[in-house]
């Protein structure tokens, strides 16, 4: 009997999604004779039964295209906006799965997608996930597809900022994406020759950063590049965040927890401007003209790098084989040059942060790159 599988992409878009869709679909059809359909706009499309047949024609010519042909959304199965209400639509998604007589559902996404897919798995669906995100923060995989492309874009941006920083003897602060982990800023900072790199894992002291810049200036280097992860926090802000998170954990009732969560949300909203505030403070402390560049979503766009296309293709073809072998409830992770089926319960609720003894951090320190802590 012909097996049928569904594919959806959820969360933020990422380079390599189309390469992964193509790999799953082509391997499933050509090697195992499976029928493949896609659901539009992530879990919302699964709820609404909005499908597209992923046949050879649909999969042709998408390898190098950025974004996702299926569309994506951040909607969650158990907290789905429906009209003016937020509803648990998990059962509707189960109905769609059964309506199409699916043997498996492949969910392409990051940590949030893994959580949502896990909820469907608990309802009895055969689930597999593939790790995509430019942040490279999915637990249990060596690397995520999308990261290499974003790393290249961010590093090239730093390359370009060097010339204007040098010409005007300026401090250029460049904010790089990465959510609450520093993989992207750290990698791009080292590759782009940044003079200071600030990441969430190492709370920074702005005066230490300023002194490092002044030390360069006194040595005859009148410009500096500061690469800042969007989730980087000063020591004071990190302490404040820790206190707010503690209040949520120690809340004695729902009212206290709601109040604590609101306080954390307000704190995070205020921190959205932290990079701009850091730039102003550095100019004040050093007396050097300072400018900020926020790269933003340009890091997600465009043609995926060859490395991301290769990774997405490797994971996608392995996914089709796992489905044929009856392996479900797993994330198809990159492991060395191969793949590994990691149980979803080992992935959900976890984040891969940069270890403080990571070789990249050691490399940066060996180059006397200021990490904001010494």
Tokens describing residue 350: 């976890």
Counting every residue written for the chain, the total comes to 374
Report how far residue 372's alpha carbon sits from residue 355's, in angstroms, rounded to the nearest whole number: 16
CA-nearest of 48, 147, 29, 152 to 95 is 48
Q: Are 305 and 15 in contact (CB under 8 A)?
A: yes
Task: Provide φ and ψ at 295, rounded to 5°.
Answer: -70, -40
Q: Are 197 and 369 in contact (CB under 8 A)?
A: yes
Q: Are 220 and 254 in contact (CB under 8 A)?
A: no
Catalytic residue check, 135: yes
Q: Are 186 and 197 in contact (CB under 8 A)?
A: yes
No. of H helices and E strands in the chain? 13, 13
Sign of CA dihedral 177, 180, 184, 188: positive
Report how far residue 288's alpha carbon sits from residue 349's, in angstroms, rounded to the nearest whole number: 43
Q: Which of 75, 103, 135, 308 is catalytic?
A: 135
Q: Which residues are catalytic?
A: 135
């Amino acid at each position: 009997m012909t097996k049928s599988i569904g594919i959806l992409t959820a969360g933020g878009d990422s380079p390599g999604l189309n390469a992964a869709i193509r790999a799953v679909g082509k391997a499933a059809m050509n090697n195992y004779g499976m029928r493949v359909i896609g659901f539009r706009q992530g879990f919302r499309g699964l709820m609404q039964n909005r499908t597209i047949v992923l046949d050879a024609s649909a999969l042709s010519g998408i390898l190098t295209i950025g974004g996702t042909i299926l569309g994506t959304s951040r909607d969650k199965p158990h907290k789905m906006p429906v009209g003016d209400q937020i509803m648990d639509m998990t059962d509707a998604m189960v109905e769609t799965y059964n309506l199409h007589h699916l043997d498996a559902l492949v969910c392409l996404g990051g940590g949030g997608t893994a959580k949502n897919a896990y909820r469907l798995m608990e309802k009895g669906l055969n689930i597999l996930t593939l790790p995509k995100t430019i942040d490279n923060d999915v637990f249990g995989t060596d690397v995520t597809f999308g990261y290499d492309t974003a790393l290249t874009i961010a590093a090239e941006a730093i390359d370009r900022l060097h010339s204007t920083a040098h010409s005007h003897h300026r401090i250029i602060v460049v904010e790089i994406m990465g959510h609450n982990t520093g993989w992207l800023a750290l990698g791009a900072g080292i590759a782009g020759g940044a003079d200071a790199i600030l990441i969430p894992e190492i709370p920074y002291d702005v005066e230490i950063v300023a002194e490092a810049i002044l030390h360069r200036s006194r040595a005859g280097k009148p410009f500096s590049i500061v690469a800042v992860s969007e989730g980087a926090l000063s020591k004071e802000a990190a302490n404040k965040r820790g206190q707010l998170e503690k209040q949520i954990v120690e809340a004695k009732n729902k009212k206290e927890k709601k109040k604590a969560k609101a306080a954390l949300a307000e704190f995070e909203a205020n921190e959205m401007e932290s990079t701009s505030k850091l730039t102003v403070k550095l100019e004040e402390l050093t007396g050097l003209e300072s400018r900020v560049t926020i790269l933003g979503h340009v890091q997600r766009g465009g043609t995926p790098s060859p490395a991301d296309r290769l990774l997405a293709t490797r994971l996608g073809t392995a996914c089709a084989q796992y489905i044929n072998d009856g392996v479900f409830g797993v994330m198809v992770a990159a492991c060395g040059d191969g793949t590994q089926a990691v149980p979803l319960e080992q992935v959900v609720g976890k984040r891969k942060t940069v270890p403080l003894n990571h070789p990249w951090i050691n490399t940066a320190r060996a180059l006397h790159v200021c990490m904001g802590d010494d």
